[in-house]
Amino acid sequence: MKRKVLLIYTGGTIGMEKDYETGSLRAFDFGNIFEKMPEMKLMECEVFVHPFAKPLDSSDMGPEEWKIIANYIYKNYNDYDGFLILHGTDTMSYTASALSFMLKGLRKPVIMTGSQLPIGDLRTDAKENLLTSLYYASLYENDEAVIQEVAIYFEYKLLRGNRTLKYSAEYFDAYASPNYPILGQSGVHLNIIKDNLFRCDPTIEFHVDEHISEDILFWRIFPGMHLSHFREIPKMKVLILQVFGSGTIFSSERTQETLQEIRNNGTEIVVVSQCISGGISFGKYENSNIFSRIGAISGRDMTAETAITKAMHLIDNPNYPGSFAEHFTKSLCGEITD
């Protein structure tokens, strides 16, 4: 019996084709994907296509679209063996991270992919990404899904979605997972590294927690920055600071006073690193101790994309009793190193 995969097309470069008269890219009717890619009919799985009514550039993807995708997976969860989401590359890591928190008790593959060149381009990377993603989305052993998490497949590598970032707008190898090893790699053989795969708590039934707060602010610290600007910003629930190295910031009484004032207003402060690899370690350097003194929360080795979506999911979420800090510093679905 062939496995059934539901392909959800949201938009992005992968669904574009070039108008050779104008030279511009335009979306094609993804319902005709089997004509564009007859190879899909040779797959060892059945593919069913659900395109968004209006394909979206990935810069237009946000909380409402995340909820639509999550709820559509929930609605069709029992009818399909796996799910493949085609998505624009610029914000794919945000969507993958958000879905990893929203899809509770997930025991089927949710694979995301896209491409750097349109599917109709002669040199496109879209076809390999799409076909191999379908293999991963339909991969089962002993009637159990091999992948039971949200993952991104791109340029021969399968990565945990909430560990990824897009690091190149030019190369086909556009995604990295700097603080977690790959889940699998495709070559002559389709490889999976089972020790790296995530498994959820077996007592949790599959459901969607669509709580997403947009009352989050992300700010990159830079030399010479005037923190006094923070006083002009309306109160937010969570302020995520992207700081230097392993957690340092310019140390002065004014810095501490400003950040303490923000904390006193009830805002949670999360600290993540500007470095692609590694993470936050309060106390390693004197200039990181300010964060301990004001009660800031270490984002440790989370990517900025994951820290943002995790904060959006957790803050004021009634399904997480207890403190925000307690849940933020805990690994919920493999997004942080224990």
With a CB cutoff of 8 Å and minimum separation 6, the contacts of 88 are 10, 11, 12, 13, 14, 56, 57, 58, 59, 61, 114
**Residue among 133, 132, 130 at smallest CA distance from 118:** 130
Range 216-329 has CATH code 2.40.50.140: no
Number of helices followed by number of strands (H, E) in the chain: 8, 20
Indicate whether 34 pLDDT > 90.
no
Residue reference for tokens 């009793």: 321
Q: What average pLDDT does the segment 143-148 reach?
A: 98
Active-site hit among 10, 13, 124, 309: 13
pTM (predicted TM-score): 0.95
* Domain 3-208 matches domain 216-329 at the CATH topology level: yes
Residue 10 pLDDT: 96
User: Residue 180 has what DSSP assignment?
Assistant: S
Would you say 309 is a known binding-site residue?
Answer: no
| Res 38: pLDDT | 82
Q: What is the mean pLDDT of the chain?
A: 94
Give yes or no: 258 in active site: no
- Residue 37 has a pLDDT of 83
Give the tens place of pLDDT for each residue, 215-266.
999 999 999 998 888 888 888 999 999 999 999 999 889 999 999 999 999 9
Return d(Cα 77, Cα 72) in angstroms, integer. 8
Q: At 31, is the pLDDT very low, low, confident or very high (cuts 50, 70, 90)?
A: confident
Question: What value does the mean pLDDT take over residues 53-60?
Answer: 92
User: Which H/E stretch holds residue 256?
Assistant: helix 253-264
The C-alpha atoms of residue 328 and residue 61 are separated, in whole angstroms, by 24
Domain map (residue ranges) of the chain: 3-208, 216-329
Q: 3-208, superfamily in CATH?
A: L-asparaginase, N-terminal domain (3.40.50.1170)
Catalytic residue among 10, 89, 124, 309: 89
Summarised one tens digit per residue, pLDDT across range 170-206 is: 999 999 999 999 999 999 888 999 999 999 999 999 9
Quick one: pLDDT at residue 23?
Answer: 74
Q: Which long-range contacts (CB under 8 A, 24 or more apart) does 182-186 make?
A: 182/157, 182/158, 183/147, 183/151, 183/158, 183/159, 184/136, 184/157, 184/158, 185/156, 185/157, 185/158, 186/132, 186/135, 186/156, 186/157, 186/158
User: What is the model's pLDDT at position 30?
Assistant: 76
89 is in an annotated binding site: yes
Q: Which secondary structure element, helix H or strand E, spans residue 129, and what is its range?
A: helix 126-137
258 is in an annotated binding site: no
CA–CA separation, 310 and 272 (whole Å): 13
b/e sequence 280-305, b meaning 16+ C-beta within 10 Å: bebeeeebbbbbeebebbbbbbbbbb
What is the DSSP code string of 189-209?
Answer: SEEE-GGG-----TTPPPEE-
Section 93-117 average pLDDT? 97
pLDDT at 108 over 90: yes
Per-residue model confidence (pLDDT) at position 40? 84
89 annotated active-site: yes
